[in-house]
Structure 1
Amino acid sequence: MTDLTGSTVLLPRSPARAAGLAERLRAAGVAVTVAPVIERAPAEDAGALAAAVAGLDAGRYAWAVITSVNAVDALVGAGRPTTLADAPVRWAAVGPATVRALHSIGIEPALVPDDATADGIVAAFPPAPSRQDVAEASAPSTDTTTVLLPLGDLARPTLRDGLTALGWTPDVVTAYRTVRSELPADVVHARYDVIVVTSGSVAREIAAQYGATSPVVAIGRPSADAAREAGLSVAAVADRPTDAALAATVTTVLKERP
């Protein structure tokens, strides 16, 4: 493995979520600092999420589209894993971490796009059935064109708009909120060769709390776009949203730095 002793990397994630990537980088000699800039908080309207879980169990949705581990955790918190696993609905998932989270509660996604983004889900999603198909395939009280989207409060309308264009009826429910976590002063005043950004929210908080003095490696294209919009310099984008891909990308950037 490449020896990158002396290199410094900031992982602005929770210790649990950063552990795998931090271990890989430290094995290469990198000095890794883990300090989250955002935290997950419960949705303000817990009743809406509980109603959505009840709707899954009742067969109100044709699909449930899951875009993050946070959404899985929120659904589990609003119901029971066994209820979710037995729900008469097809599941779609974005990214390997989300797939693993669904597997942990007994759910096998029917759709996992190669492009682990909201755009990727829309591109891979089937068009909605016609009204005649719905009438012939389901009871009158069942709306089989409704798709549950349990999202964070800062989610962009990409999924909602894309699925609507395909003829589906998205039901957007706030599953969790994203709140700021302040960086410690010693982290703010330190210098890092690379900062890893794993979401648009992280990118914006890094720009606001730390500034644009260090290049960033983004977990995917949406995070990279948000980083550039926030004024950050994007050195590279991982080709997959995994610890292995991020570690390889960060390592390459560190080896090529002046």
Structure 2
Amino acid sequence: MVTEIDDRPRVLVTRATGQTDQLIAALDAAGVVAVPVPTIDVELAPGGGALDEAIQGVGSYAWVVVTSTNGALAVLRAAERVFVPFEATRWAVIGNATREVLEREGVDVAFQPSLSTAAGLASELPVAPRDRVLLVRGNLADDRAPAILGRRGAVVRDVLGYTTVEAPASSVGLLAEAFAGPLEIALFTSGSTVRGLVGLADLEAIDVRRLPAVCIGRETATEAARLGFDVVAVASAPDTQSLAHTAARAIADLRRDSAPIAAIRKGGSRR
């Protein structure tokens, strides 16, 4: 019996558990094998807290601003709990991936900025003085977005939608298994996925920085470069399809410009 060997390039996918299916499918369509190692855990805000309260009164806000797919999932979950209609207000999102999450559930997104960053969204959002804005974010978000909106005259309620835990212990073994075979690049979808990978690697003494990095956006690329990765490509748009296509092109470029990247093993180097 002949065993078929899959010689397609393998890439490290660092998204949280439960959020990789679309990316894995897009990579597969692009001829790339995804090797999932969740470098973060995401915990959506529980029921009965500030998010439920804010969503229950969503009609009193001029805008609901969601700055990530996890924020979108948190808002949808809260809306289900408190039975609030999505059309009660206007919705603004940071980029295509967040828009897709909301639109799949029937939410009509009214605004998306030209620059897919939280600061870009806050700077471009069409607000009038004293407009009430509900901003749903994660625990690792910085203060730029609420500060910009405040300077523009908006009255901002900043609510925690989810908590991100970097370098979850459950992924330590998965990382060691992933690096037992050849890997060509690492895919990063947020700064926290970069930091999470570095944290996991430190526990296993794996030199993950030897992997070239492909990032979903400029802010993620900046964090990857800060932590010592060679960022070889950034997706043209912050969504799954763009990231998968960018990864496939980056691998082709790397293979054309140099010898194929060999297996990077624990404590080892490129060979």
* TM-score of Structure 1 vs Structure 2, range by shorter chain: 0.7 to 0.9
Scaled by the length of structure 2, the TM-score of the pair is 0.79
Query: 1:17-50: per-residue Cα shift (whole Å, max 9, x none)?
Result: 3223323333444332112111211337952112
Distance 2:18 2:240 in 1: 13
How many aligned positions are there? Answer: 238
Deviates more, 1:236-245 or 1:97-106: 97-106
2-side partners of 1:82 and 1:214: how far apart? Answer: 46
Report the residue type matching 2:110 in the other structure. A
| Matching residue within 153, 158, 170 for 1:167 | 153
**Correspondence 1:253 to 2:250:** yes
SS of the aligned residue for 1:13 comes to coil
Residue 111 of structure 2 aligns to a residue whose secondary structure is: coil
What does residue 216 of structure 1 align with?
Answer: 213
For 2:13 and 2:74, the matched residues in 1 are separated by 24
Distance of 2:110 and 2:137 partners within structure 1: 19
Aligned identity (percent) is 32
Residue 242 in 1 paired to residue 230 in 2? no
* Alpha-carbon displacement from aligned partner over 1:201-252 (angstroms, at most 9, x marks no partner): 1011122223312011000111111212222221110110122211221112
CA contact (8 A) 2:11 2:32 kept: yes
Letter in 1 for 2:247: V
Please state how far the C-alpha of 1:172 moved relative to its aligned partner.
0.8
Q: Which stretch has the larger CA shift, 151-160 or 182-191?
A: 182-191
Taking a change above 3 Å as real, the CA distance of residues 191 and 84 of structure 1, as seen in their structure-2 partners, is: farther
Partner of 1:140: none
- Corresponding position of 1:76: 76
Say if 1:82 and 1:105, in contact at 8 Å, map to a contact too: no
Structure-to-structure mapping, 1:54-203, within 5 angstroms: 54-57=56-59, 59=60, 61-80=61-80, 83-87=84-88, 89-129=89-129, 144-180=130-166, 181=168, 182-183=171-172, 184=174, 185-203=176-194
Structure 1 residue 5: Cα displacement: 4.1
2:62 and 2:27 map into 1 onto residues whose CA distance is 42
Indicate conservation of the 8 Å contact 1:56/1:84, yes or no. no
Shift of 1:254: 0.7
State how far apart, in whole Å, the 2-side matches of 1:32 and 1:103 are. 26
- Matched residue type, 1:148: L
Amino acid at match of 1:193: E
Q: How far, CA to CA, are the matches of 1:233 and 1:46 in structure 2? A: 43
Alignment RMSD:
2.3
Give 5+ residue unaligned stretches, structure 1.
Answer: 130-143
Report SS of the residue matched to 2:142. Answer: coil
